[in-house]
Structure 1
């Protein structure tokens, strides 16, 4: 990518294990601000909630959009410092919770979720501060459940019958509407948000199977190493995960 082509570029990026690690964004946070100041939007496309993601954007001093809860919703900037959050799925968080509770009872599964825990319990189980726990609890259409390994087939079948699916990752299994997808969220965002005169060149970065369609949608993509690595997709493979790999990938792609 040449320097001139970056003026019509948008970066869609996963957050955990991609732009962020356990310590945050580190030097990548400053790079986000620099790239944004050059007119290249950095758009989170994340499993995080709108509240979690907007806290990060405010911290970086960026008033841009985001794709949140794995494509379940968009954060659309309005006046400075304010966003409109738009859910893209037919099912709400209450609908997801209802289906999860029904299936857990029917199958006798010990599978607690964020909505089952008090704020102190959530802080304890996930390792969050009070503001972070409150933001993680403010959900629109997805529910993380404490479960390691593959989900029981009967549980997955019940989710499918209800129009839901589940994404595994580490200690949690996240249930969300089957229609939710980061790539579809990115497409919908570009239909409602028009900072460019023509279709932008799309750069995407991610590390996990839930990023696959987003990376395939992009013109240039980087697959970072992560707990659930991506395979079988044509993209740049930086050596490092997290902010270091994120910076390296954008350098190799000629964006920074």
Structure 2
């Protein structure tokens, strides 16, 4: 593992938060297994350090993964479009949050219906050189993602964004992105898909949630963020410590000038666990590390 820069930390002085991407980070890129990260996740939980799942996945996908990971903390869906906080997690409901199905929900993103209306109008005028989830069959989503049929159906139960499997050339993509931006939407290139969403991102949503934590603790909140792709960069930029998890499918995204950056040698959940263990382990030769 390569740590480009470091600084001294004292675990007793801070309330640490860990925000993490899922696919390619906590979940293996090919198998979607989280087994290599389980021991580290248990240590964080027993140490009172919440792991905030922050993904392009939908609420239903995230609920299932939270159960598999024994995680009961707030989570962020669809690339920062909505924050789900279990009711009662904080002493009071956060400002601007609404209540639904046992959660306080903060929605900085756009609604999917508005995005689909834009895609229909744009496609009629400029063509649609992509496969979007709303227009795709379950079998097509399975073929594009490697998910099971049940998982593909959950992935298509979106509320705030629309993934596009781009099939045109780069020039067409750039022109499409410009039109989306001009219409008030943002785009993010994930590992496999170009996501169309509202004017939000993983970093903005993480900062909103961090402020909620900070409101209810006397200690300063410090953030560790981990991810493997370009759509994680906004989250990594706002972190006190950024962890880029190496991918077997693409080179690490570039994050210049971050003061505390770790790029893992191992891929996926194994690399994630090694980075977190290194950060939270006291080493007499490295005063930057803290005990978990």
Residue in 1 that maps onto 2:20: 13
- Once the two structures are superposed, residues 84-129 of structure 1 have per-residue CA deviations (whole angstroms, 9 ceiling, x without a partner) of 443222x210001111121122112231211112334423432222
Q: Partner residue of 2:252?
A: 229
Could you tell me which of 140, 164, 174 is aligned with 2:159? 140
Question: How far 1:140 sits from its partner (Å)?
Answer: 1.8
CA contact (8 A) 2:165 2:194 kept: yes
Question: What are structure 2's unaligned runs of at least 5 residues?
Answer: 1-7, 90-100, 282-291
Q: How does the TM-score come out when normalised to structure 1? A: 0.88
8 A Cα contact 1:73 1:140, kept in partner: no
Unaligned runs of 5+ in 1: none
1:59-104 residue CA offsets vs partner (Å, 9 max, x unmatched): 2222111111111111111269943443222x21000111112112
Runs of 4+ in 1 over 6 A off after TM superposition: none
Residue of structure 2 aligned with 1:78, choices 73, 78, 87: 87
- Corresponding pairs, count: 254
Structure 1 pair 51–84 and aligned structure 2 pair: CA distance change class (3 A): farther
For 2:139 and 2:108, the matched residues in 1 are separated by 30
Backbone CA RMSD of aligned residues:
2.4
What displacement does 1:213 show? 2.4
- The answer to whether structure 1 residue 116 and structure 2 residue 130 are counterparts is no
Name the SS of the counterpart of 1:39 in structure 2.
Answer: coil
Instruction: State the match for 2:271 in structure 1.
Output: 245
Inter-CA distance 118–106: structure 2 relative to 1 (3 Å threshold): same
The change in CA–CA distance for 1:217 and 1:5 in structure 2 (over 3 A counts) is: farther
**1:170 & 1:203 partners in 2: Cα distance?**
21
Q: Structure 1 residues 160, 187: closer, same or farther in 2, change over 3 A?
A: same
Q: 1:208·1:230 contact (CA, 8 Å) conserved in 2?
A: yes
| Structure having the larger proportion of residues in helix | 1
TM-score, scaled to structure 2: 0.78
- In the other structure, the counterpart of 1:61 is 70
